[in-house]
Amino acid sequence: MSDSGAQGWLFPPTGEVGLVIANEILERRHYLGAVSRGRAWIDSDGVIVVCSPTSRLLPEAWLEVSRWCLFGNRNGGSKQWARVRKWIAKEWSNCSTIVSYSDPSQGHTGSLYRSCGWLWAPTWHRLRPPPSGNGNWGSGQQGVKDRWVYVLREDPHRANALAVRDPCLVRKMPWCVYKEPAWKRRRAVPGTGGGEWRRWSATA
Mean pLDDT score, 5-26: 79
25-81 pLDDT, tens per residue? 999 999 999 999 999 999 999 999 999 999 999 999 999 999 999 999 999 999 999
Whether the pLDDT of residue 3 is over 60: the answer is no
CATH code, 123: 3.40.630.30
Q: Does residue 2 lie within any of the structural domains?
A: no
Whether the pLDDT of residue 1 is over 50: the answer is no
Q: How many domains does the chain have?
A: 1
Mean pLDDT score, 2-15: 58
The answer to whether the CB of 43 falls within 8 A of the CB of 87 is no
The range of the structural domain enclosing residue 52 comes to 15-203
Question: Against a cut of 0.75, is the pTM above it?
Answer: yes
Q: Does residue 160 lie within any of the structural domains?
A: yes
Say what percent of the chain tops pLDDT 70. 88
**How distant is the alpha carbon of residue 189 from its chain centre?**
19
Q: Which long-range contacts (CB under 8 A, 24 or more apart) does 111-114 make?
A: 112/68, 112/70, 112/77, 113/148, 113/150, 114/197
